[in-house]
Structure 1
Amino acid sequence: MTSLAASAHAERRARLCAQMAPGAVAVLPTAPEAMRNSDTEYPYRHDSYFYYLTGFTEPDSVLVLVAANGARPAQAILFCRQKNLEREIWDGFRHGPDGARAAFGFDAAFPIEDLDGEMVKLLANAPAAYYALGHSAALDLQMKTWLQAVRRQARSGVTAPAVAHDLLAMLDEMRLFKDDGEVALMQRAARISGRAHERAMRASRPGMFEYEIEAELLHEFRKSGAQYPAYTPIVAAGANACVLHYNANSAQSRDGDLVLIDAGCELDSYAADITRTYPVNGRFSAPQKLLYELVLAAHSAALAAVRPGRRYSDIHDSAVGVLAQGMLDAGLLDKAVYGNAENAIAERAHLQFYMHGTGHWLGLDVHDVGAYRDVRADDKPSRRLEPGMVLTVEPGIYVRPAAGVPEQFWNIGIRIEDDVVVTTDSHAILSDNAPRLAAEIEEVMGQR
């Protein structure tokens, strides 16, 4: 399923072909189906790279691109399953090669069974091959088989590609920059996810199980048209919020607990990723509110660093500076030992309570592709932000019981995460409809 026009995918294919050597061939399969158990498959999810270039969501499909060479224009060729009316009764609609070519704007389309024979023809005399080097043992073996078949024609003057390039590295850089259609789609995904977080807040009561709260999220996702969660939701009450990747979602909340929810939907293949933390009884205690306001201040400092020209690392550094000072002021870190935030950070003392990064790229994958460093420079500094990049901003604090840690803060885990797009002069928060301020959260929960 795609809500982006076929022309958007075609334009991406054209841009990729323009970066390839003249006459070179690129090969990109979609994801295979995976068995869950016995004869039951997991719900199918296409490969993100494949979808980015095609908009096509059926399994058993391969995209082949042939770059322009002189007067010969570039070609986009799809291999996919044939129409099969009997199988469609069981498994649903198939486009078939002719239908796919017409609907998605390919130059040619063939049955997937023809792939081996056609690839040997397409690779003959091509100067280079582009594919996901080392990404899939099955694809590596296929490429080896095709190239061997081409080399067997050497006596007829046929040559095999002499160079192989990593296709994914090129696509990573393309996918890092979202166009207007992608940003609009991610805005919708974020809005749905924000409503789901607010729904969970309104539904929450002390004594509810984490999975009951999770059900509120999933209800809002599907009710609003999202196909899936973008990842397994985290619904963590009390001490569970101090486990970064907790997802058992099976414990019972207690009066006085904070609940940390990290959840976002996937809408038409694009992900949202939002975290909110709130008191299950509707009111922050004094220690909870102190740490919540600290994380919120770190969130604001990190957001201020999201603008064109700033380095990606500035986002994390801004958040850590605020958090480390707050840890000293709250007594989580000993001022007599560290003196100031700079020393605490230099000694890595803040890692006891904040041990992860402050965000990641976001897009077709929840942890989306793209380099975080400028690989063109010798020292590979953190790359500068540019318009069209979409990322998360997600500082947090996690206080486990330990000697020297004030007991009033034990088992408090807080994270605040939003989805942000870099604009031409600043940034825009895609997930701004999810209540974030402590007063907003308490107001929403007071309406239960």
Structure 2
Amino acid sequence: MSSSTCFSNFADFTHYQTRRQQVLEQMQAQGGGIAIIPTAYEMTRNSDNFFPFRHDSYFYYLSGFTEPEAVIVLIANASEQRSILFCREKNPEREIWEGFRFGPTAAREHFGFDSAFAIDTLTSTMPDLLGDARTLFYSTGRDPQLDARLHGWMEAVRARSRSGISAPATTVDIRELLDEMRLRKDTSEIALMQKAASISGIAHTRAMQIALPGRYEYELEAELLHEFRRQGSQAPAYGSIVATGANACILHYSSNNAQINDGDLILIDAGCEYDSYASDITRTFPANGKFSEAQKTLYDIVLASQQAALDCARPGSRYMDGHHAAVRVLTQGMLDTGLLDKNKTGNLDEAIASGAFRQFYMHGTGHWLGLDVHDTGSYRETKKVDDEKPYRKLEAGMVITIEPGIYVRPAEDVPEQFWNIGIRIEDDILITADGHLNLSRDTPKTVADIENVMKR
């Protein structure tokens, strides 16, 4: 099985050089040192077959390089700033079987590194590069194999102490630098994420149009995957959820093998990855093309709660403001419909304070989105206020999902017309200077839009 190198028209490799330079400057500001960022490993599926290779997101963020067996080394000290790529050598014989390889010379020129060497020389080269580096910028614990090799390199440097050469005295997690950078998307990243969301929206619409009672969840999943690939996406961003009826009340349902019944709602949580950037969209729709009154009642509550969260999606709002706004709308809807008994839970504020709403809404209202579907970055500020770190403020360039829901499992004190209804509505939201942009805006969402699409 071969790994492919895919570069879209959106790709501009100067962005990767700019990011590496930003890291080098941050390293310099902390006194200098050496950074080591590896890509992912190829993983054996069985025998001599491998799982499809997907590069490490941190590595890709700084390189744009998609081949396995590669490591980035960044060096920043008083006299120089340098970026080095270690990658596989050109090998015409292996390329017959596995596909194109850049090789160090072409990779250096194409991706803008200062130098590039064969990955086989990494072990012999690293002790020299580590020597006299003040700080090691490295993510310990993420890669046990490289951790072990690094230990050997550090010991080799320490063995030269009588020559006046010293190993790095301190270690800084390189993710502390990269996570903050990855939180704020540049124009090239936004273009890729818009493309991913647009493709995923087309796929969700296709699934709505072919859904019928009697079909199976996996048939809809097949339509999603077909449309992802047909539109140029390289892979799903995560395992697609296609959940009909009671299965929609399982948050991370993955079997996708049940038959769709007349009267079911179908919840699809699926998104593609386009040039390494993820989309993440959820839509819920009726199998027969028409919402029942009970389904429509709950659906409109979830939709209103999402709008309340969207109203908070702007610079200066705290990350959790949207969640709190959604919870208020959802909880009021639960009280109004009898999902929550006012005599037991009290009024709106009391039902929220006690957490009674969690019987039907037990997850958060979103997450960061980017190279990873649950993207990197702290959700809280670094400094404490009143002995607690507050949730961080949203800024232009951040991308979040907003995904409220209601999940009703059968229970004696729950109105039977709502049993086994699971609803989630999720969109991908870019924070802009004056508010937000819904990247998945073209995916049908209102009751009227969904029913209209399914008629056609």
Q: TM-score range by the shorter chain?
A: over 0.9
Q: Give 1:429's aligned residue.
A: 438
Whichever residue aligns with residue 223 of structure 2, its letter is: E
SS in 1 for 2:238: coil
What residue number does 1:370 align with? 377
Match for residue 384 of structure 1 among 381, 385, 393? 393
* Partner secondary structure for residue 240 of structure 1: helix
- Residues 409-443 of structure 1: CA distance to partner in whole angstroms, max 9, x if unpaired? 00000000000000001000000010000000000
Distance 1:50 1:221, change over 3 A: same
In structure 2, runs of 5+ residues without a counterpart are: 1-5
Deviates more, 1:408-417 or 1:113-122: 113-122
Question: What corresponds to 1:111 in structure 2?
Answer: 118
What is aligned with 1:395? 404
1:286 aligned residue: 293
2:57 corresponds in structure 1 to 48
1:116 is displaced (CA, Å) by: 1.2
The residue aligned with 1:177 is 184
| 2:74 maps to 1:78 | no
Letter in 1 for 2:64: G
Query: TM-score, normalised to structure 1's length?
Result: 0.98
- Secondary structure of the 2:320 match is helix
Looking at structure 2, the residues matched to 315 and 36 of structure 1 have their Cα atoms a distance apart, in angstroms, of: 41
The equivalences for 1:275-354 within 5 A come to: 275-354=282-361
Shift of 1:34: 0.3
Task: Determine if contact 1:124/1:158 at 8 Å carries over to the other structure.
Answer: yes
Across the aligned residues of Structure 1 and Structure 2, the Cα RMSD in angstroms comes to 0.9
Q: Which residue is equivalent to 1:228? A: 235
In the aligned structure 2, how far is the partner of 1:306 from the partner of 1:384? 10
Give the Cα–Cα distance (whole angstroms) in 1 for the partners of residues 218 and 224 of structure 2.
10
Query: 17-26 or 80-89, which moves further after superposition?
Result: 17-26
- Deviation, 1:384, is 0.5
Which residue in 2 is equivalent to 1:193? 200
Superposed displacement of residue 281, structure 1:
0.3
Aligned-partner SS, 1:253: coil
Q: In 1, distance between residues paired with 2:91 and 2:144? A: 29
Report deviation, 1:340.
Answer: 1.6
Aligned to 2:153: 146
Change (3 A) 1:192 1:318: same
Distance 1:153 1:73 in 2: 23
In the aligned structure 1, how far is the partner of 2:194 from the partner of 2:87? 32
Candidates 247, 251, 254, aligned match of 1:244: 251
* Structure 1 residue 221: Cα displacement: 0.3
**Mapped contact 1:2–1:269 kept (Cα < 8 A):** no
Instruction: Establish whether residue 98 from structure 1 lines up as the match of residue 105 from structure 2.
Output: yes
TM-superposition CA deviations, 1:332-353 (whole Å, max 9, x none): 0011222321110111110000
* Residue pair 1:133, 1:165 contacting (<8 A) in 2 also: no
Q: How many residues align?
A: 445
TM-superposed deviation, 1:399:
0.2
Take 1:165 and 1:146, find their aligned partners in 2: how far apart are those partners? Answer: 17
Partners of 2:383 and 2:129 lie apart in 1 by 32
Please, which of 212, 217, 226 is the counterpart of residue 210 of structure 1? Answer: 217
Any idea what SS the aligned residue of 1:93 has? coil
Q: 1:286-335 CA deviation, whole Å, 9 max, x = no partner? A: 00000000000000000001100010010110000000000000000011
Q: Where has structure 1 moved over 6 Å in runs of 4 or more? A: none
Match of 2:3 in 1: none
Which secondary structure does the structure 1 equivalent of 2:273 belong to?
A: strand
Q: How far is 1:5 from its partner?
A: 1.1
Alpha-carbon distance, 1:73 to partner: 3.1
Taking the aligned partners of 1:222 and 1:130, their CA distance within structure 2 comes to 38
Residue 164 of structure 1 pairs with residue 200 of structure 2? no
Output one character per residue of 1:252-289: Cα deviation in whole Å (capped at 9) or x when no partner.
Answer: 00000000000000000000000000001000000000
**TM score, norm. by length of structure 2:** 0.96
Q: Provide the rounded CA distance (Å) in 2 between the counterparts of 1:213 and 1:320.
A: 31
Give 1:29's match in structure 2, choosing from 38, 53, 60: 38
